[in-house]
Structure 1
Amino acid sequence: MILRISPRDDWSRDREAGAIPLDPDGFVHCSDPGTVHLPANRLFHGRADLVLLQVDPDGLPVLWEPGETEDGPWFPHVYGPIPTDAVVAVHEFAPDGAGTFHPLPVL
């Protein structure tokens, strides 16, 4: 399974449209339980309106690619819209009291 961080309002819109659209850089950014806190803290620090979409990658065009540096963690990037029926679970995703996100146990 891979994870997509989403504001609740975006997930509601995407669910209604039937797919998670591509991000501006041409793919859908995703993570895994051990890395999801890295983009969450960089992009969403302190936000309490997030959910984690647990996505079954079977049949999706997923490539694991480096994040900001070649020697850092690699992330799953989906090179196509993600159909909402590939989302098998939705989890609340809240930061701690200081607004910081942490690695997750395996879901």
Structure 2
Amino acid sequence: MIIQCMKKSEWDKRKNEEYWGQESIDKNGFIHCSTIEYFWRVAPNFYNTSEEFVLICIDEDKLKAEVKYEDWDNTGRCYPHIYGLVNNDAVVDVLPFLKDENGEYVKNKEFADIKNK
């Protein structure tokens, strides 16, 4: 499973669409995602906002678009990038982006058994 963090208001617009993500493809050429193990490294990008975010859980095996694991920042860590639209039937769960009292990401209980890398 891979996850994509997005504004809840965006998800509310997309959740009933058959496919979504064209805006990201137009801007970046792909849709940025993360593995659960690396998400804690990505989460700070979403701290300084008052908007509500959600974690879109995507089953790679159900995706019709190609997923490539790439290390564009030369960090030694590869992140999944979706090269095409997300078919909504590949979304297996939508979870809240949890924060503690300091505004830092708190791992969802559904991911508790997955170790951070």
TM bracket, shorter-chain basis? 0.7 to 0.9
CA RMSD after TM alignment: 1.9
Question: How many positions carry a matched residue from both structures?
Answer: 104
- Corresponding residue to 1:35 among 34, 38, 59: 38
Distance (whole Å) between structure 1 residues aligned to residue 56 and residue 32 of structure 2: 12
Question: Does structure 2 retain, via aligned residues, the 8 Å contact 1:2–1:55?
Answer: yes
For 1:11-90, list aligned pairs within 5 A: 11-22=11-22, 23=24, 24-42=27-45, 44-47=46-49, 49-58=52-61, 59-68=64-73, 70-90=74-94
Question: Does structure 1 retain, via aligned residues, the 8 Å contact 2:5–2:56?
Answer: yes
SS at match of 2:81: strand
Query: With CA pairs under 8 Å and 6+ residues apart, which has the higher RCO, 1 or 2?
Result: 1
Q: Which runs of 5+ in 1 are unaligned?
A: none
Question: Does structure 1 retain, via aligned residues, the 8 Å contact 2:98–2:106?
Answer: no
Amino acid at match of 2:59: D
1:46: how far off?
4.3
Amino acid at match of 1:64: Y
TM-score (norm 1): 0.83
SS at match of 1:64: strand
TM-score (norm 2): 0.77
Q: Verify: 1:92 aligned to 2:104, yes or no.
A: no
Q: Which runs of 5+ in 2 are unaligned?
A: none
Distance (whole Å) between structure 1 residues aligned to residue 13 and residue 84 of structure 2: 17
Q: Of the two, which has the highest radius of gyration?
A: 2
1:5: how far off?
0.5
